[in-house]
Amino acid sequence: MPGLLSWAVARAGDEERATAGGTFYAFFEIGLFTGPPLLGQLVEQFGPMAFVVPAMVLVAALAAYVALANRSSKCDRQPYGY
């Protein structure tokens, strides 16, 4: 969890760091609240293979994000503690 937060706020400027952290936690909590019921409904309707499609979508989204982040300007800021 601390690593994800550091990754989320690493590109934020000093004046935007609190907003970036708050946004990260807001979406993290929304995911914790909505994810299990939604995946439970998918499993109930489609069986255990219903986990494969959301997992593939998340992996593809992460790969696209990493590719775009590496293509854009390099971050000269280091996460806290480094």
Taking the C-alpha atoms of residue 34 and residue 54, their distance in angstroms, rounded to an integer, is: 14
Q: What is the pLDDT of residues 8-18, one digit of tens each?
A: 788 788 888 89
Number of domains in the chain: 1
Over residues 21-41, the pLDDT tens digits come to: 899 999 999 999 998 998 888
Helices 2-9 and 17-46 sit at what angle, rounded to 10 degrees? 120
Q: Is residue 77 part of a domain?
A: no
Whether this prediction's pTM lies above 0.85 is answered by no
- Residue 74 clears pLDDT 80, i.e. is over it: no
Domain range holding 33?
2-71
In a domain, 31, yes or no: yes
Mean pLDDT of the chain: 83
